């Protein structure tokens, strides 16, 4: 199954001020998520950003909000966005959810399992997820894969959203985001 831009939403989970500093590759993860947000914003993909207990953990890193100014931000206390019942109807009416964020083995995992339980097609962006340890990230990704989520990369997402080199924004996306060294 391919990602369908008319049926997909991007969900960025808990990339917050106090959490980003403790993951295994904080600078790289932040750069890759920002890249993904910038590209999907160009492609006009609906985006939702969750925040886990923002009073204690701070809000979403500012550069991510700048990359996706139209994103809807939701707050939660439960680890799973599904259990927290914080996902907007605009996300829930679509069949596919592209997920990235942190921590892979906690909030990302629990949200993905919940989305699968709602019969959503879930695509987890491996290179835009992180945990405090590589072991936990790897275990979380494997568990999601075993449960039926599709594990993908950022470039897979972008090329599937465009579908063809005849896409109206293909040339711009290629020249802006796909040349030179990527984060």
Q: The domain spanning residue 49 has which CATH number?
A: 3.40.50.850
Assess if residue 1 is contained within a domain: no
Q: How far is Cα 179 from Cα 16, in angstroms, rounded to an integer?
A: 29
Mean pLDDT of 50-69: 97
What is the number of structural domains in the chain? 1
In a domain, 2, yes or no: no
Residue 183 lies in a domain: no
What domain range includes position 159? 8-177
pLDDT digits (tens, 9 = 90+) for 21-42: 999 999 999 999 999 999 999 9
pLDDT given for residue 182 in this prediction: 84
> Has residue 86 been placed in a domain?
yes
Give the predicted TM-score (pTM) of the model: 0.98
pLDDT in tens, 109-123: 999 999 999 999 999
């Amino acid at each position: 199954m391919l990602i369908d831009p008319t049926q997909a939403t991007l969900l960025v989970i808990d990339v917050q001020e106090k959490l980003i500093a403790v993951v295994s590759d904080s600078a790289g993860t932040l750069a890759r998520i920002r890249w993904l947000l910038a590209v999907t914003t160009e492609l006009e993909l609906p985006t939702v950003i969750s925040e886990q207990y923002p009073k204690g953990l701070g809000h979403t890193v500012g550069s991510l909000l700048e990359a996706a100014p139209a994103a809807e931000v939701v707050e939660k206390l439960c680890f799973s966005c599904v259990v927290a019942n914080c996902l907007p109807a605009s996300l829930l009416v679509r069949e596919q959810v592209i997920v990235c964020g942190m921590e892979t083995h906690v909030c990302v995992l629990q949200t993905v399992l919940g989305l699968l339980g709602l019969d959503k097609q879930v695509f987890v962006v491996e290179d835009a997820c992180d945990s405090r340890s590589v072991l936990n990230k790897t275990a979380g990704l494997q568990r999601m894969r075993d449960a039926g989520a599709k594990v993908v990369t950022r470039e897979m997402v972008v090329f599937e959203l465009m579908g063809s080199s005849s896409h109206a924004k293909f040339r711009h996306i290629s020249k802006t985001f796909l040349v030179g060294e990527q984060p």
